[in-house]
Chains A and B, each alone.
Chain A
Amino acid sequence: MAGWLDWLTGQKPSSAGQAKDRLKLVLINDRTDLSPAQLEEMKNELLAVISRYVPIDPAGVNISMSQDGREHRLLADIPLKASARKR
């Protein structure tokens, strides 16, 4: 988000900002004991299972991790395909 602002003003992103962004990811991995690769694998399996029951729109899928204090939550936003609605 701040990236294009930095680009506009010709400023390099602050090193503190980089530290914070990197730490956010590292702490999620450390706390959940889940590597980024495993997270990706889980996401793919999740989608495969769901699409066995109902067609989904892969382009609109958004799976992310949210933090609430020291607790983490896996958020999955999976849009279903319009054509799936049969009567």
Chain B
Amino acid sequence: MAGTVLTVTSGKGGVGKTTTTANLAVALARGGKKVICIDGDIGLRNLDVVLGLENRIVYDLVDIVEGRCRLRQAMIRDKRLPELYLIPAAQTRDKNAVSPSDMVRLAEELRAEFDWILIDSPAGIERGFRNAIAPADTAVVVTNPEVSAVRDADRIIGLIEAEEKGPARLIINRLNPNLVKRGDMLSADDVVELLAIELIGIVPEDENVVVSTNKGQPVAMDGKTRAGEAYNNIARRLCGEKVPFMNLDEKEGIFHKLSRMMRPGGD
């Protein structure tokens, strides 16, 4: 078995890289894959809390690299799923504690054992990004339908191509269908046209993501929410399945519709 190394990156911070990594890892594991995710954000780790595994950290990525523990000792197994593991980042070090070749070596070891190795890249285009992209077989770029996020995504897409890890695929996160309909948010088509890369998923803005992050239970754990469904669809596309993009308009419930009819001028 030779697993695939997938790096999740974005350029800009705060667009949902860590949420995406956590949910894709969960969704792939739900699909029966053996998955490990690595938090590449040394000094600002968060993948552990988003996954709800923060209380189980003993060793971290830097401990592995500096030989203070064996690889297996730093792997935290998520008991909610059969085969999902996390390697957390160190919190008290900086990005220079790890080099791109360390990451390549680590990924080589993990490839033999896992179907998917997901790397959560930190924001920015410096060392942390270089570390995260070095071992990648493929990359997904996460963006929001918003000018600064799209611009930074374009920059990172160029850098991924320059590193010969392209073509990256695109996830548009936090799309608000009502704002798009009103003409006040870039549509998925607009973003794809601007960035000119393949779209692999659209995740609608969904309050459930906030709730689930509060609890440390990624929405993808069940496919019952809009965002959870979207992440599970992306995971299936990553595995080569053809899954149609979901209709983001049908969401409007009867109450919403009624209240809109009562209120002239729309919502």
Contact = CB atoms under 8 A, between A and B. Distances in A.
A22 B182 CA distance: 19
B165 interface: no
Interface string A17-57: 10110111011001100000000000000000000000000
Interface in B155-185: 155, 157-158, 161, 180, 182-185
A16 B182 CA distance: 9
Contact of A22 (B147, B180, B184): B147
A67 B197 CA distance: 13
Contacts of A73: none
A31 B150 CA distance: 13
B158 A31 contact: yes
A26 B196 contact: no
B154 to A, nearest CB: 5
Interface of B is mostly: helix
B194 A27 contact: yes
B31 to A, nearest CB: 31
Contacts of A30: 151, 154-155, 158
A73 to B, nearest CB: 13
A65 to B, nearest CB: 14
A27 B197 CA distance: 14
A20 B183 CA distance: 11
Given A14-B183, A24-B194, A27-B194, A19 B154 contact: no
A83 interface: no
Contacts of B190: 16, 19-20
A15 interface: yes
Given A16-B183, A16-B186, A23 B196 contact: no
Contacts of A22: 147
A27 B154 contact: yes
Contact of A15 (B154, B158, B161, B184): B184
B183 A17 contact: yes
B187 interface: yes
Nearest to A17: B183
A10 interface: no
Contact of A70 (B182, B184, B196): B196
Nearest to B152: A30
Contacts of B150: 23
Given A15-B184, A20-B186, A30-B155, A67 B147 contact: no
18 contacts: A14-B182, A15-B184, A16-B180, A16-B183, A16-B185, A16-B186, A17-B183, A19-B190, A22-B147, A23-B151, A23-B186, A23-B194, A27-B151, A27-B154, A30-B151, A30-B155, A31-B158, A70-B197
Given A14-B182, A19-B186, A30-B158, 12 more contacts: A14-B183, A14-B184, A15-B184, A16-B184, A16-B187, A19-B147, A20-B186, A22-B147, A23-B186, A27-B151, A31-B158, A70-B197
Interface of A: 14-17, 19-20, 22-24, 26-27, 30-31, 67, 69-70
